């Protein structure tokens, strides 16, 4: 019998906007526009005859902590096996999307592993299952350009866009702490893109302020923050203009990406 094998590329997502609209069952409800960009976690899998799921991790991130991240993936695997039955495979996760950056860093790897498990079991996951893992799993699973409402369950595809992004990351922002801080201090709008968590992120990680200031001083006119931070991004219509700003950025982990 031929053993199944393959490779999954899961893109990071950028929040072009994020508005907190209320609360439901202890969670904040949102309206947000997201777009996938060409920064990928890579998940490779090879089926085996026995032994369950063996996980292996590699990373291009200097601060990647496998001991902290492995349980995130293990919980998703356990949840899948509980619902769909035993899987025997070796799965290798190459972690490239930074964690704590508001661009789906945990969810990109989880989605890649779930898609590998789907192929190994010849099944298809629904929104109910995806939401049982985490609220942003459905939109990361879909990729592309989307509008999201509620607690992540209402994902509406939007027309494909062509944009280039200069993305700056320094340190991290804990999502739960960002939302708790929002409940205490509310929000302000900075620039043309509205993210109700930017005020909280600026309080929790001053590098967010530094990143916005640097991008704007370099001439970027369309600057925003993704998710709960710490990623600040500048949006450009063309590659050359984005590359010019990218080359001048200093003091941050930086990524030059495009929408996909």
Q: How far is CA 19 from CA 33, 34, 140, 200, 260, in A?
A: 9, 12, 18, 13, 23
Q: Return the exposure string of 193-223: e unless at least 16 CB atoms fall within 10 Å of the residue's CB, then b.
A: bbbbbbbbbbbbbebbebbbebbbebebebb
> Which contacts (CB < 8 Å, 24+ apart) does range 21-27 have?
21/149, 24/150, 24/151, 25/151, 27/135, 27/151
In DSSP terms, 22 is beta-bridged to: 29
In this prediction the pTM is 0.94
Task: Name which CATH class applies to 5-156.
Answer: alpha beta
Provide the CATH topology of domain 164-258: Alpha-Beta Plaits (3.30.70)
The domain limits of the chain are 5-156, 164-258
Q: Return the exposure string of 125-151: e unless at least 16 CB atoms fall within 10 Å of the residue's CB, then b.
A: beeebbbebbbbbbbbbbbbbbbbebb
pLDDT in tens, the chain (260 residues): 688 999 999 999 999 999 999 999 889 999 999 999 999 999 999 999 999 999 999 999 999 999 999 999 999 999 999 999 999 999 999 999 999 999 999 999 999 999 999 999 999 999 999 999 999 999 999 999 999 999 999 999 999 999 999 999 999 999 999 999 999 999 999 999 999 999 999 999 999 999 999 999 999 999 999 999 999 999 999 999 999 999 999 999 999 999 99
| Catalytic sites, residue numbers | 13, 136
């Amino acid at each position: 019998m031929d053993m199944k094998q393959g490779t999954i590329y899961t893109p990071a997502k950028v929040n072009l906007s994020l508005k907190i609209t209320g609360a439901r069952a202890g969670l904040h409800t949102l309206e947000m526009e997201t777009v996938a960009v060409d920064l990928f976690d890579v998940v490779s899998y090879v089926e085996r005859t026995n032994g369950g799921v063996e996980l292996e991790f590699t990373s291009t991130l200097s601060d990647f902590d496998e001991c902290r991240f492995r349980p995130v993936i293990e919980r998703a695997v356990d949840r899948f096996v509980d619902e769909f039955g035993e899987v025997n495979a070796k799965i290798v996760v190459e972690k490239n999307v930074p964690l704590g950056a508001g661009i789906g860093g945990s969810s990109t790897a989880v989605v890649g592993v779930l898609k590998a498990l789907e192929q190994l079991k010849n099944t298809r996951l629904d929104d109910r299952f995806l939401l049982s893992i985490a609220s942003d799993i459905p939109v990361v699973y879909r990729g592309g350009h989307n509008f999201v409402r509620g607690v992540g369950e209402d994902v509406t595809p939007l027309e494909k866009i062509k944009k280039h992004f200069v993305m700056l990351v320094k340190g991290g922002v804990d999502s739960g702490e960002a939302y708790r801080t929002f409940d205490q201090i509310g929000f302000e709008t900075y620039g043309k893109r509205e993210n109700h968590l930017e005020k909280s992120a600026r309080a929790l990680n001053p590098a967010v302020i530094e990143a916005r200031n640097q991008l704007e001083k370099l001439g970027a006119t369309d600057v925003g923050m993704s998710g709960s931070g710490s990623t600040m991004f500048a949006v450009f219509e063309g590659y050359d203009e984005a590359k010019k700003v990218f080359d001048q950025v200093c003091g941050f982990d930086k990524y030059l990406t495009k929408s996909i």
